[in-house]
Amino acid sequence: MRTFVGFGFGPIQAGLFLAEAYLSHNFERLVVAEILPDVVAAVRMAGAFTVNIGHADHIEALTVQPVEIYRPQDIGERAILVAAVAAAAELATAVPSVDFYTAGGANSIASILAEGLRYKAVDAGPFAVVYAAENNTRAAELLKAAVLAEIPVGEHAAVLRRVQFLDTIIGKMSGAPAELSGLRPVAPTLARAFLVEAFNRILVTQIRRPGQDQAGIPREAGNREADSGASGVVDLAWADYRRGIEVFVEKPDLRPFAEAKLYGHNAGHALAAYVGHRLGFTRIDELAARPDLIAFVTAAMVEESGVPLCQRFAGVDPMFTPDGFRAFAQDLVTRMVSPYVRDTVARVGRDPARKVSWDDRLIGAMRLALAAGVIPHRYAVGAAAALDWLAVPFDTTTAYLQELWLPANPAPAQASAIAQLIVEARVWLANWSDAGFPALELSEPRT
């Protein structure tokens, strides 16, 4: 019996991992851990859950069943989760942040995983992979460290022979919309719905198999058995391991795609949200009424993200070519403004201070562009609109940004150049607003 276990029951867990596990027909048992008692009670009563899937021209309701759901705070249900981990071939964490790995003490994700994996090692249970779906480039590494901290050092090698922790790049838009009209609830007695887009091309770390290093690249002859990870040896049985969720795509090195996600996908999405907010929009699909804005966001992704990313990662993948990145950007913007995804400006633009921090999407994309000799005027507009959202007084723009960026200790000249671009963009935004938001030109926005 092939088992899947998920931790956290939100739109990504339900609408991606559990849904794809169900649709694969490769799992006989679907198990999920959730801490909210009303959600657990409603799904358990139904023995199933429903997720709404936004396609290009309609919304489909998919019911996943049977599904088992347990609260880790309950001692008996925690034991069931531990046993499920020991029996699982694939697992996934999909919680708000990596900080949740250790939250809850003995009932934490790390603790339950550790106990279940120890049983797996002792009983020679199924080989397993754990997908870490948190939006952090080190999620798998942090989850692995948190789990190992709960396991005696002498058992680490045995455990790590039977499990691998994989990072993910999830470019799938999802949410729990406040507006439920036309949507099926998660469960009949629950006033909550999940809506996710149909997109399911998810990238994951390549599984290490005998004769490969941690990036999945063949080793030199004569060193086929050694592994550079903490496990020491990759068991020969990994050669026959096949994922049950077959639609995911393994990549030897996720770093290029992680940068494309953060500085292309996320940066463009944030730009759309903050400019949309400046226009008074509440849903991202409202941008479709402004073809000039669609072109503006697309141009930012193609020219200010794509050009530097294609320079940096030339030859890695067809995506990192001018045509490949343009196709990536155009497809993403089309999906962003789909009315069948119902993405909101509030969701995409939430936490604007974080999104204009030194290492995050907007400023990170601006830094990447400047390093490649590209002036990121459009992303400067996005950052300026984020500061408007935060109601930062115009005359404190530079001081606010300097304080916000202080923990990163940026080079003063670089920080000053970026701050100046944002100051100019704030002037441009004010003038654009005063003029009644006329159609945008794709040329460089200037005051």
Mean local confidence (pLDDT), 109-130:
97
Instruction: Please state the rounded mean pLDDT for residues 286-312.
Output: 97
Per the structure block, which two tokens stand in for 124?
Answer: 């020679």
Comparing 339 with 212, the larger pLDDT belongs to 339
Residue 246 in this model has a pLDDT that exceeds 50: yes
pLDDT at 299 over 80: yes
| Annotated domain spans of the chain | 3-251, 255-434
* Over residues 10-39, mean pLDDT: 98
CA angle 316, 320, 322 (to 5 degrees): 145
Q: What is the CATH number of domain 3-251?
A: 3.40.50.720
What is the C-alpha separation between 283 and 270, in angstroms, rounded? 13
- Estimate to the nearest angstrom the gap between the alpha carbon of 283 and the chain centroid: 20
- pLDDT for 230 beyond 60: no
**Residue among 144, 148, 177, 137 at smallest CA distance from 11:** 177
Residue 330 in tokens: 């155009």
Q: Which percentage of the chain shows pLDDT scores above 90?
A: 89
More reliable by pLDDT, 209 or 345: 345
d(CA 226, CA 224) in angstroms, rounded, equals 6
pLDDT (tens digit, 9 = 90+) per residue, 385-423? 999 999 999 999 999 999 999 999 999 999 999 999 999
- Among 34-38, 231-235, 260-264, name the one with the lowest average pLDDT: 231-235
Question: Is the bond preceding 445 in cis, omega lying within 30 degrees of 0?
Answer: no
pTM to 2 decimal places: 0.90
Q: Residue 228: pLDDT above 60?
A: no
| Alpha carbons 431 and 169: distance in angstroms, whole number | 38
Give the strand pairing for 49-54 and 128-132: unpaired
The CATH code for residues 255-434 is 1.10.1040.10
* Portion of the chain with pLDDT greater than 70, in percent: 94
Please tell me the predicted confidence (pLDDT) of residue 10. Answer: 97
Report pLDDT for 179: 84
Write down the pLDDT at residue 442. Answer: 57
Q: What confidence category does residue 220 fall into, taking pLDDT thresholds of 50, 70 and 90? A: very low
Q: Does residue 169 surpass a pLDDT of 50? A: yes
Q: From CA 80, how far away is CA 130, in angstroms rounded?
A: 18
What's the pLDDT tens digit per position in 117-127?
Answer: 999 999 999 99
Give residue 237's pLDDT band: very low, low, confident or very high (50, 70, 90): confident
Q: What is the pLDDT of residues 28-38, one digit of tens each?
A: 999 999 999 99
In sequence order, what are the residues at sequence separation of 6 or more whose Cβ sits closer than 8 angstroms to the Cβ of residue 153? none
Give the span between the Cα atoms of 239 and 54, in whole angstroms. Answer: 37
Mean pLDDT of the chain: 93
